[in-house]
Structure 1
Amino acid sequence: MYARFLATTLLVAASAPSAIFAATPDTSPIKEVRLSSGGLAEVLRAAVVNQDGVVRLEVPLEQVDDILKTLVLNNDSAVIADLSLVGPQPLSETFKGLPVTAESLASVPALLNAIQGAMVTVTSQGKTVQGQVLGVEPRTAADGAEAYLLSVLSGAVTIATLELAPDAMVTVDDERIRDKLVQAASAIARAKNDRSRAIQIKVKGNGAQRVDLSYVVAAPIWKTAYKVVAGEDGKARLQAWAVLENASGEDWRNVKIILSSAEPVTLSQRLHQWYWRDRMDLPVNTAANAVPEADTGNLTKRAQAQRAASYAAAARMQAPRPAPVAVAAEAAPDRILTQHYGGGAIDRDSQSTATESDVSATFELPGTYDVANGDTLSIPILDAEIPASMVSLYRAGGQERHPVAALMLTNDTGVSLPAGILTIYDARSGYAGDAQLAGLPGADTRLASFAIDRKVTVTEDRKPVDEITEVKVVDGMLRLTQKARYVTDYTVAGAMDAPRTVIIEHPVRSGWTFSSPASDGKTATHHRLKVTVDKGASQTVQAVEEQLRRDTIAIADTEPEALLAWSASSTDRVLSAKLVELSEARQKQMAAQRALDQWEDARERLVSEQARIRENLRAVPASSDLSSRYLTQLEATENELRALAGKRETLEGELHQLEGKVRGILRTF
């Protein structure tokens, strides 16, 4: 209805100057991008310093926080004095100082109500009024349509009214209000495309015209895809390809790319944001579900390799230093590259230069690259021949009775390999399967499991065995040392067509010692057993876990059977004989105690019977036959009680004598 006024306002606002948002050509091209496995990109730009000593950098809004955190100047003769940019909420901040709101600019009636008191000239339906705005009153016309009636106070102290029709034209005569309306319309126009920020960087120095700026921002994690072709001579052809994306918000042109396998601690903070004290916001857990665990390496083999490396280093100290060699290995023999598996050889001139640091490997790609914003690039970073052998890997405790086929890889490339997905080819039969490869440091080994080996079956038989290793008695307390043992027999039924090397992973139990004649080191979570099974044959290997347990028991309260068992386990003949003697004495003592307890039970039974008979006597006539019968029963129970009374002293005497004998034996320990 009131589009004419709004269009005019926006046109005026668009023609107004704006120093902060004025478009300028890009004068800071990207020279280099260093991508890390931590999901960050270190961006290096060649920036031009203008005559005012300012570098202007236009960046996406989502990168502002990271740039405020990490921006540095790579120049020895210049420093950054300060930097400035528009705040995080420019629209709301702009309207805080204006007499109107963004909503009031949506229609002429709302705007006129918002600038009450301002001088205006309004024309509608051929009629014009001029004066100070008093207000706009909504009304319903005769046909039911909505209408608005404007009231103004003219210079002659006259109130004039005007119905606002769709052709209404408003001129704001108050210059101060008019400027504020232009400012408000400009703010709305900017907010519609509020996706970037122009950062003004003030540089101080000796008049440098060009400087290098670098900063770290979030970036898609670069991935590694490996292809390995397994041969038959203990070697395999390994190719590594890096897959990366340009999500910087601009095209890369002639950009140097460096890849790092480092996984630094990465923190982010909304520096380009206002903060007030508030309650803690409990985040929702969006972590992915656990995936099958990748091999973390043989720790025992690693320790052996470290010792061997130490010996080799000592030998090199006394020998002439050899000439340096390239990190990239020579091309694998053509006999391994049968058919097309592995993607063929990689041009040596296109391979990356790999360097090793304390915590990561860095791959500097040759030349420069053009990558459009949003595009993906896949680049070869390694092509080498490495030691590899096929094995079958069985992990104890699972539901699957068949092991998995795995390729044991040894990294002798001289540089650590980042984690990634591994595609395995067999030189004879082609695609074999996929595996998850954890980070593989130089000179270390990994098992890459890729398929179920159903030609081999492994069964488990686990038996607990306990034995007493030491028995001592000190101050009436028996100190018992027992050895708990678990013996697990693994029976491997080999394949019918070829021999197999089987690696069995047995869980590590904290506090238990482990031994096996087939032991082949351990990982962080499992012991490894290695067995070679001929075709069509079966073989059993044993794993033994042991744990010593020490108990302290009051010997005086110990059961005779336990004393006999301990005496049989003791290597001290004198102690063993004393335990047997104590066991026999304790048996007699306990028998005497049972006899006395039986006497007490019998007496209580007779006393209870007497009470019952006396109660019955009171309930029947004194001269009746029933009364005579009760009297006879009462006399019989009385005789039994007299007989029992004579045995009590004898039983108590025997028990006292046996208890003394037990105490005497205990004093001899």
Structure 2
Amino acid sequence: MRFLAFSLLIPALAFAAGCQSSTQSAGSASVLPLRSLKLYETGVGYFERSGKLAHGETTTLPVPTGHLDDALKTLVVAGDAGGVTLTGVEFSSSLSRGMARALAGLPASGEEPLTYRALLLSLKGAEVEVRTSGKRAETLTGRMIDVLEPLPGAAPTPSPDSGDEKKKKDGKDDEPEAKKPELTLLLVTKNGELRKLDTAHVASVRPTDPSYTTRVGAALDALSVRAAQNQRSLRLLAQSEKPVTLGYLAEAPIWRTTYRLVMAEGGERGTLQGWALIHNDTEESWAKVKVELVNGQPDSFLFPLAAPRYGRRELAEPEERLATVPQLLDTTVDQIWGDNLEEGIIGHGSGTGTGQGYGSGHGRLGGSHKTRAPVVRMGATSVSSSDTLSVGNLAAIAPAEGVEAGALFSYKLAQPLDLRAHGSALVPFLQSSVVTRRISWFSSPGAAARSSIRFVNATRQTLPAGPIALYEAGGFAGEAGLGRLKPTERAFVQFGVDLDVELESVKSELKEAPQRVAFKNDYLVEDFFRSSVRVYEIKNRSRAPRTVYLSLDIV
């Protein structure tokens, strides 16, 4: 094991102790390399690590603290039949903010600031070593009784380093340097002395119990603004003579798509390229990782698992109330009975006071209790196995490029990917010929013409939505947005203004011809045939023929 020494540096308060690092040394545990990754458009990724364990070697799974619950919820271990013996997964328990503060003797409220006084108060009753500063410096060992606030209107505390021997340059005596009133420590030393120490004269306070530093460290870990990014290690308790695979789900950046369409001369066909934007937001560089891009919306939710949870039990009271404090601890029988000097003025009184508090709460997945956060109802739904998420299939089957799987479809990158930690990459995942037709689109007569294409998805795969850049022989033609298209589905893509084509309405005629008149339930019913005749004039000022599409309000 590797140990890291640390010290808590706070003005006038210092702690020093050793704490065990959560990272295992390379000699006792190894991290299996990341082999494959599936990225989903719902913001999660399925990570697979594979490798062979040496004899007597264990493996760890590094995940950020914020991803620990997902890893515990979805972790699967795969290997050849009979080749892997798994006994469990070990990891350091997570502490909530309130629990960590309570263990350190700090106020349980997770939002209350961690002040110097709060740290000192957490030492009440503990044995401490106090070192004072100044000319009368000393080291005291005793138990902390209390931390006293300065009284209202208290005089400033003179500095211990100021004295009458100091002279100003003009020969006059220095005035003692005054400081703002500080806290006062009340201690009882090992010799039984009661000492009051102004914190202005205290250089350090060190608890003699080494476990205190560990508890304060846990509280600081929970309160750290980077607590969710701290790396945690899951240690796999397994024995394997053959390669083993670990699969787990974790939050990952959503992969996004961009397209390039190069139109052939005449606009009848084109070549479509699809590019995916991928981000590695982890602390680990990817080396030769097989990446698969999955589009679809599989359900995934957050669920608290890592931190210990406790229930509440009802307090059952005995019929006879018994005190925990002896009756004669600080009194005598005579004091209880009284002097009884005069019958007329003697009063007898007694009183008892009891108090109790009980609180309980519980929740369950699929229950009916209301909570502050959304819950996932499982009672009315059913869950079936998914071939896409099957670790056995993932490890044994190399999926082809562009595979439909129910509501999901995926693209597998042609080459394994190398990507540094916190790096991004734009990688191609599709290149295919598509059927297009160059058109001039009019939304209504008289409107400006739009340069457009009628686009047919001639691939075997669903195309995810994304921006598309169009090119033709002259270079860049325009940009547009492409919606999600299933195979053989058609879309009209507008990418610019067509200045060479105009369309105007020159005639519009509406005719109605009666066909039948009849009485029905004391009503006169007339059936007629309505026809509309519209004449449009199209002007093409270009030298090439154009196909015009007009959007009609009546079909």
Query: What interval of TM-score do these two structures reach, taking the shorter chain for normalisation?
Result: 0.5 to 0.7
Preserved CA contact (<8 Å) 2:65 2:232: no
**1:471 pairs with 509, 514, 517, which one?**
517
Residues 138-177 of structure 1, C-alpha deviations (whole Å, 9 max, x = no match): 364256422454443456655344445545454545xxxx
Within a 5 Å distance, the mapping from 1:5-44 to structure 2 comes to: 6-7=13-14, 9=15, 11-12=16-17, 15-17=18-20, 20=22, 27-44=31-48
Residues 493-539 of structure 1, C-alpha deviations (whole Å, 9 max, x = no match): 130334321122234xxxxxxxxxxxxxxxxxxxxxxxxxxxxxxxx
**Residue 491 (1) aligns with residue 498 (2):** no
In structure 2, distance between residues paired with 1:121 and 1:242: 61
Please state whether the residue corresponding to 1:442 is helix, strand or coil: coil
The equivalent residue for 1:582 is: none
Please state whether the residue corresponding to 2:31 is helix, strand or coil: coil
**Residue 134 (1) aligns with residue 141 (2):** no
Whichever residue aligns with residue 271 of structure 1, its letter is P
Residues 540-565 of structure 1, C-alpha deviations (whole Å, 9 max, x = no match): xxx55xxxxxxxxxxxxxxxxxxxxx
Preserved CA contact (<8 Å) 1:234 1:389: yes
In structure 1, distance between residues paired with 2:52 and 2:243: 6
**2:71 pairs with 67, 70, 88, which one?**
67
Within a 5 Å distance, the mapping from 1:78-89 to structure 2 comes to: 78=84, 83=89, 85-86=91-92, 89=95
C-alpha change, 1:490 and 1:38, in structure 2 (3 Å) is farther
Residues 325-357 of structure 1, C-alpha deviations (whole Å, 9 max, x = no match): xxxxxxxxxxxxxxxxxxxxxxxxxxx944455
CA shift for structure 1 position 392: 1.3
Structure 1's unaligned 5+ residue stretches are 283-351, 508-542, 545-669
The equivalent residue for 1:255 is: 289
Preserved CA contact (<8 Å) 1:393 1:502: yes
CA shift for structure 1 position 74: 3.1
CA shift for structure 1 position 52: 8.4
Preserved CA contact (<8 Å) 1:390 1:407: yes
The equivalent residue for 2:326 is: none
Residues 54-76 of structure 1, C-alpha deviations (whole Å, 9 max, x = no match): 64222123433443443323335
The equivalent residue for 1:298 is: none
Within a 5 Å distance, the mapping from 1:205-604 to structure 2 comes to: 210-215=244-249, 217-232=251-266, 234-260=268-294, 262-272=295-305, 353-359=401-407, 361-396=409-444, 401-427=447-473, 429-460=474-505, 468-473=514-519, 477-478=522-523, 480-483=525-528, 485=530, 487=532, 489=534, 491-497=536-542, 498-507=544-553
Between 37-46 and 188-197, report the one with greater CA deviation. Answer: 188-197
**How many aligned positions are there?**
424
In structure 1, distance between residues paired with 2:266 and 2:64: 53
C-alpha change, 1:486 and 1:271, in structure 2 (3 Å) is farther
Residues 158-201 of structure 1, C-alpha deviations (whole Å, 9 max, x = no match): 5344445545454545xxxx134222232245344522352536
C-alpha change, 1:393 and 1:266, in structure 2 (3 Å) is farther
The equivalent residue for 1:57 is: 61
Preserved CA contact (<8 Å) 1:149 1:163: yes
Preserved CA contact (<8 Å) 2:437 2:453: yes
Whichever residue aligns with residue 75 of structure 1, its letter is G
CA shift for structure 1 position 217: 3.2
Please state whether the residue corresponding to 1:381 is helix, strand or coil: strand
C-alpha change, 1:206 and 1:168, in structure 2 (3 Å) is closer
Whichever residue aligns with residue 280 of structure 2, its letter is N
CA shift for structure 1 position 359: 4.5
CA shift for structure 1 position 255: 0.9
Whichever residue aligns with residue 126 of structure 1, its letter is A
**1:152 pairs with 174, 187, 190, which one?**
187
C-alpha change, 1:267 and 1:494, in structure 2 (3 Å) is farther
C-alpha change, 1:32 and 1:133, in structure 2 (3 Å) is closer
In structure 2, distance between residues paired with 1:502 and 1:76: 62
In structure 1, distance between residues paired with 2:194 and 2:40: 72
Residues 102-133 of structure 1, C-alpha deviations (whole Å, 9 max, x = no match): 989854x7655443344445443334555443
CA shift for structure 1 position 23: 6.5
Whichever residue aligns with residue 123 of structure 2, its letter is I
Residues 640-665 of structure 1, C-alpha deviations (whole Å, 9 max, x = no match): xxxxxxxxxxxxxxxxxxxxxxxxxx
The equivalent residue for 1:116 is: 124
The equivalent residue for 1:296 is: none
Whichever residue aligns with residue 42 of structure 1, its letter is Y
Structure 2's unaligned 5+ residue stretches are 1-8, 159-176, 310-361, 364-368, 375-399
The equivalent residue for 2:98 is: 92
In structure 1, distance between residues paired with 2:189 and 2:422: 61
Within a 5 Å distance, the mapping from 1:587-666 to structure 2 comes to: none
C-alpha change, 1:100 and 1:505, in structure 2 (3 Å) is closer
In structure 1, distance between residues paired with 2:373 and 2:120: 42
Please state whether the residue corresponding to 2:71 is helix, strand or coil: helix
Preserved CA contact (<8 Å) 1:456 1:492: no
In structure 1, distance between residues paired with 2:467 and 2:220: 48
In structure 2, distance between residues paired with 1:495 and 1:353: 44
Preserved CA contact (<8 Å) 1:433 1:451: yes
Whichever residue aligns with residue 480 of structure 2, its letter is A
Please state whether the residue corresponding to 1:494 is helix, strand or coil: strand
Whichever residue aligns with residue 45 of structure 2, its letter is A
Preserved CA contact (<8 Å) 1:251 1:373: yes
In structure 2, distance between residues paired with 1:122 and 1:233: 86
C-alpha change, 1:168 and 1:491, in structure 2 (3 Å) is same
In structure 2, distance between residues paired with 1:359 and 1:3: 57
In structure 2, distance between residues paired with 1:130 and 1:380: 69
CA shift for structure 1 position 43: 1.7
In structure 1, distance between residues paired with 2:188 and 2:463: 82
Residues 5-37 of structure 1, C-alpha deviations (whole Å, 9 max, x = no match): 634x1x31xx1335x565767612211122344
Preserved CA contact (<8 Å) 1:120 1:171: yes
CA shift for structure 1 position 253: 0.9
Whichever residue aligns with residue 96 of structure 1, its letter is A
In structure 2, distance between residues paired with 1:104 and 1:179: 24
In structure 2, distance between residues paired with 1:462 and 1:79: 82
Whichever residue aligns with residue 272 of structure 2, its letter is L
Larger Cα Rg: Structure 1 or Structure 2?
A: 1
Preserved CA contact (<8 Å) 2:255 2:293: no
CA shift for structure 1 position 370: 0.9
Q: CA RMSD in A?
A: 4.0
C-alpha change, 1:56 and 1:271, in structure 2 (3 Å) is same
Whichever residue aligns with residue 222 of structure 1, its letter is R
Preserved CA contact (<8 Å) 2:402 2:412: yes
In structure 2, distance between residues paired with 1:382 and 1:154: 77
C-alpha change, 1:382 and 1:168, in structure 2 (3 Å) is closer
- State the TM-score, normalizing by the size of structure 1: 0.54
- State the TM-score, normalizing by the size of structure 2: 0.64
Between 451-460 and 194-203, report the one with greater CA deviation. Answer: 194-203
Bigger share in helix: 1
C-alpha change, 1:238 and 1:153, in structure 2 (3 Å) is closer
Preserved CA contact (<8 Å) 2:59 2:236: yes
CA shift for structure 1 position 430: 2.1
Preserved CA contact (<8 Å) 2:106 2:118: no
Whichever residue aligns with residue 402 of structure 1, its letter is A
